Structure 1
């Protein structure tokens, strides 16, 4: 017989919230903030390589942030779906129990 499974909705909500919090912090910190001026590097080629690296890094961070936002949205959607299904099942079970007039059909045989 299958044991079933349990979904920890609070953990899903906490994960979604943590992702959203990290994304909020990322909005205020850009890789370009770390990109020093060419004069500070002291070597033209090294400055160009560093600038290129920071530009690509920023693109990568932006892509990760988009993916993380999707993960957060999907976690929240999953929590909502589980809660809706739970509510429907409770309503159905409540209706079934109410219509049975609290009789035990097995006891009548």
Structure 2
């Protein structure tokens, strides 16, 4: 398992979520009179509202993916540590050091 790849994926998702947080779709929304047409203004407002909901869900899902990737990395690291300890225990039996290990 390439733990660095998992770490990079989690970091990349976090960076994307941070970038998304600085630019909101509502920033392109404008007062209705700026569009010069009532129905166009309403359509744009509706689009922005729906888009913000979608982005909010995407950000929530992305944060969960990041958390799960980080949890996987920690789980793999813990498992590797336990395996190393077990192997060391096998190699260093009660009769002394394993002569084949050197």
Q: TM-score, normalised by structure 2?
A: 0.91
Unaligned runs of 5+ in 2: none
1:82 corresponds in structure 2 to: 76
What's the CA shift for 1:29? 1.3
Query: 2-side partners of 1:93 and 1:69: how far apart?
Result: 36
Unaligned runs of 5+ in 1: 1-6, 105-109
What secondary structure sits across from 1:56 in the alignment? Answer: helix
CA RMSD for the aligned pairs?
1.2
Residue deviations 1:7-45 (CA, integer Å, cap 9, x gap) = 110000000000011111122111101112212211001
What's the CA shift for 1:103? 4.1
Runs of 4+ in 1 over 6 A off after TM superposition: none
Q: Is 1:61 equivalent to 2:35 in the alignment?
A: no
Number of corresponding residues: 98
